[in-house]
C-alpha cells in the first residue's frame, strides 16, 4: 500500500471540528487547541514544524491533512500603495482581495462569494452573476494569504472588511464562521470592532445577524433616497424596499457608541442632488447612523460617472446641517480597478491600462474649502467631519509619498 495522500484542508475548521480530527487520529482532545493555535495564530502550514506535537502524530497529520491558502495568481500595485490580488481556489475558481496599507496597520478587503447575484447596476462585480459561495476556509484563507504575502508580523493591527466580491449576508453561515475564527483571541485575534460586513440590504439576514451575540460591525449599502431610484440602481430593492430596510435598521441592536454605517455611492446627476441629501437625512432620522459618501469608482463597461467634487462636498454639507455624521471615503486602488465596486475577474493590468479616470483627488481644493475629510490614508487614522479649526496638514503629494514608502521606493 502507498502512503495516504494528504487531501483534507484543515483551514476553516473550528476548535470543535479539530477535536474530532484529533480523536479520529487517536489523540487527546487538547491536541486540537495546539493545532488551532498553530494554524491561525502562528500561521503555520507545515505539520512537521509543529514541534509541540510528538513526531509520529506530526507525520500522521502530514500524510492525511494539509493547510493550504488560496494561491496568489496575480497582484498589481496601485499608485496609492493598495495592492489588488487575484487568488485561485482549489477548484480553479478565482476571487479578488485588496490590501490597503496604512501607517502602523492595514485594511484587507475580502470576498465572500465568487461573483455576486445582487447585480447592483453601478458595480463591476455584478456583471459576473453568482458562481458559488465561498467556504469559511476560503474566506479566512484570503486574510492569511495576504498577510503572508506582505510578511506582516503576528498580531499586526488589521481591519477586515467584507466589501469584496459577493453579498456576505447571502453566505451568512460561512461568513460568520470565518468571522469567529478571525476574532478568536487564541487564533488570528482580530477584534470584532475591526471587522465590518457590508450588505445591500438582505432584511431577514440582517435580523439574523442582529441576534448573534458576538457580531462584527455592519454597513448598509444605501445609494438612493427613494424606492424608485434605489430599485433602478439596486434590484434587491424590489424584494426589500427602503421601508423594510429602515425598519430593521431601527430595531438593530447596537452596542454603546456603535453606529450603523450607511454607504452612499455618488453618481453624477443621478443620486447626488441636495434634495437627495435631504431625503437621506429624513430616512435616517431616529437611527444611530453615520454616512460614508463614496465618489463613484468607474468601471470600463459601465456608463456612470463620479459626482464632481463640489457636489460631493455640497451633499455632505446638507447631511451635516441635519446632524447626520457624514464622511467622505476616497477609495484606494482606483487605477488598478481595486476600489469599491470595481472587482471583477479580469486581467487587472489590462483593465487598469484601459481605464481613464477623471481627476477626483485635488487635495488643495478640499483644504481651501475648509472641509475636513474622513479618509484614513490621508489623516493617518484620525477622524474628522464637517468643518474644523485644526484640519490635517496634507500636501498634494502625500498619497504619492505614502505609496512610495509602502513599496520601498522612499
Instruction: Report yes or no: 351 and 78 within 8 Å, Cβ to Cβ.
Output: no
Q: What is the pLDDT of residue 363?
A: 31
Reported as type and span, the H/E element at residue 208 is helix 203-210
Report which of residues 310 and 1 the model is more confident about.
Answer: 310
pLDDT in tens, 355-378: 333 333 333 333 233 333 333 332
Structural domains in the chain? 8-66 (1.10.150.530), 71-361 (3.20.20.70)
Query: Which of 234-243, 275-284, 392-401 has the weakest average pLDDT?
Result: 392-401
Q: What is the pLDDT of residue 187?
A: 94
Report which of residues 51 and 386 the model is more confident about.
Answer: 51
Instruction: Report yes or no: 73 and 348 within 8 Å, Cβ to Cβ.
Output: no
Query: Which of 72-81, 104-113, 138-147 has the weakest average pLDDT?
Result: 72-81
Q: Is the pLDDT of residue 221 over 90?
A: yes
Q: Is the pLDDT of residue 344 over 70?
A: no
Span 303-321, average pLDDT: 94
Q: What is the pLDDT of residue 6?
A: 62
Q: Is the pLDDT of residue 35 over 80?
A: yes
Which of the four pLDDT bands, split at 50, 70 and 90, describes residue 52? Answer: confident
pLDDT in tens, 375-385: 333 223 333 33
Q: In angstroms, what CA-CA distances link 176 with 39, 133, 202, 298, 314?
A: 18, 13, 15, 31, 38
Question: How far is it, in rounded angstroms, from Cα 373 to Cα 326?
Answer: 9
Q: In angstroms, what CA-CA distances link 26 with 48, 82, 110?
A: 18, 46, 37
Reported as type and span, the H/E element at residue 86 is strand 83-88
Give the ranges where 127-171 is alpha helix by DSSP (H). Answer: 136-149
Q: Is the pLDDT of residue 234 over 80?
A: yes
Q: Is 96 a catalytic residue?
A: yes
Average pLDDT for the chain: 82
The C-alpha cell of 183 is what? 476574532
Q: What is the pLDDT of residue 372?
A: 33
Q: In angstroms, what CA-CA distances link 4 with 8, 20, 54, 61?
A: 11, 19, 19, 10
pTM over 0.85: no
Query: Which of 60-64, 156-160, 281-285, 391-395 has the weakest average pLDDT?
Result: 391-395
Q: What is the pLDDT of residue 141?
A: 98
pLDDT in tens, 168-216: 999 999 999 999 999 999 999 999 999 999 999 999 999 999 999 999 9
Span 268-273, average pLDDT: 95
Torsion (CA) 262, 265, 267, 271 in degrees, nearest 10:
-10
Place of cell 479578488: 96
Report which of residues 142 and 335 the model is more confident about.
Answer: 142
Of the listed 19, 167, 340, 377, which one is catalytic?
A: 340
Instruction: Report yes or no: 208 and 249 within 8 Å, Cβ to Cβ.
Output: no
The C-alpha cell of 128 is what? 459576473
Which of the four pLDDT bands, split at 50, 70 and 90, describes residue 248? Answer: very high
Question: How far is it, in rounded angstroms, from Cα 73 to Cα 71?
Answer: 6
Q: What is the pLDDT of residue 301?
A: 65
Q: What is the pLDDT of residue 330?
A: 73
Of the listed 19, 96, 138, 377, which one is catalytic?
A: 96
How many CA atoms, within 13 angstroms, populate the side-chain half-sphere of residue 145? Answer: 29
Q: In angstroms, what CA-CA distances link 203 with 170, 199, 239, 242?
A: 11, 10, 9, 10
Q: Is the pLDDT of residue 290 over 60?
A: yes
Q: Is the pLDDT of residue 352 over 90?
A: no
Amino acid at each position: 500500500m502507498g502512503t495516504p495522500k494528504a487531501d483534507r484542508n484543515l483551514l476553516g475548521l473550528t476548535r470543535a471540528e479539530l477535536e474530532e480530527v484529533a480523536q479520529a487520529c487517536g489523540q487527546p482532545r487538547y491536541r486540537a487547541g495546539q493545532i488551532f493555535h498553530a494554524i491561525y495564530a502562528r500561521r503555520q502550514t507545515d505539520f512537521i514544524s509543529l514541534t509541540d506535537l510528538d513526531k509520529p502524530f506530526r507525520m500522521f497529520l502530514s500524510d492525511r491533512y494539509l493547510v493550504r491558502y488560496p494561491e496568489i495568481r496575480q497582484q498589481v500595485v496601485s499608485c496609492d500603495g493598495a495592492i489588488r490580488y487575484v487568488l485561485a481556489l482549489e477548484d480553479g475558481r478565482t476571487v479578488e482581495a485588496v490590501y490597503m496599507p496604512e501607517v502602523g496597520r492595514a485594511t484587507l478587503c475580502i470576498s465572500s462569494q465568487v461573483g455576486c447575484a445582487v447585480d447592483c447596476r453601478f458595480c463591476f462585480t455584478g456583471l459576473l452573476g453568482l458562481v458559488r459561495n465561498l467556504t469559511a476556509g476560503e474566506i479566512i484563507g484570503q486574510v492569511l494569504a495576504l498577510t503572508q504575502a506582505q510578511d506582516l508580523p503576528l498580531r499586526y493591527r488589521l481591519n477586515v472588511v467584507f466589501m469584496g466580491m459577493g453579498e456576505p449576508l447571502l453566505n451568512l453561515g460561512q461568513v460568520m464562521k470565518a468571522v469567529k475564527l478571525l476574532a478568536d483571541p487564541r487564533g488570528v485575534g482580530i477584534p470584532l470592532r475591526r471587522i465590518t460586513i457590508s450588505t445591500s440590504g438582505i432584511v431577514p439576514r440582517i435580523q439574523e445577524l442582529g441576534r448573534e451575540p458576538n457580531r462584527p460591525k455592519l454597513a448598509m449599502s444605501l445609494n438612493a433616497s427613494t424606492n424608485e431610484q434605489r430599485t433602478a440602481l439596486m434590484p434587491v430593492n424590489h424584494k426589500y424596499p427602503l421601508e423594510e430596510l429602515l425598519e430593521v435598521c431601527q430595531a438593530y441592536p447596537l452596542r454603546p457608541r456603535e453606529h450603523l454605517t450607511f454607504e452612499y455611492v455618488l453618481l453624477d446627476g443621478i443620486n447626488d442632488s441636495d434634495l437627495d441629501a435631504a431625503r437621506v437625512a429624513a430616512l435616517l432620522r431616529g437611527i444611530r447612523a453615520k454616512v460614508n459618501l463614496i465618489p463613484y469608482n468607474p468601471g470600463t463597461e459601465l456608463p456612470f460617472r463620479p459626482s464632481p467634487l463640489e457636489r460631493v462636498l455640497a451633499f455632505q454639507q446638507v447631511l451635516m446641517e441635519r446632524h447626520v455624521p457624514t464622511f467622505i471615503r476616497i477609495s484606494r486602488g482606483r487605477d488598478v480597478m481595486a476600489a469599491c465596486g470595481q472587482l471583477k475577474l479580469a486581467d487587472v493590468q489590462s483593465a487598469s491600462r484601459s481605464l481613464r479616470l477623471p481627476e477626483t483627488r485635488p487635495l488643495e481644493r478640499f483644504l481651501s474649502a475648509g472641509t475636513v475629510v474622513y479618509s484614513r490614508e490621508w489623516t493617518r487614522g484620525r477622524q474628522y467631519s464637517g468643518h474644523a479649526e485644526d484640519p490635517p496638514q496634507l500636501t498634494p503629494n502625500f498619497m504619492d509619498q505614502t505609496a512610495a514608502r509602502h513599496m520601498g521606493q522612499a
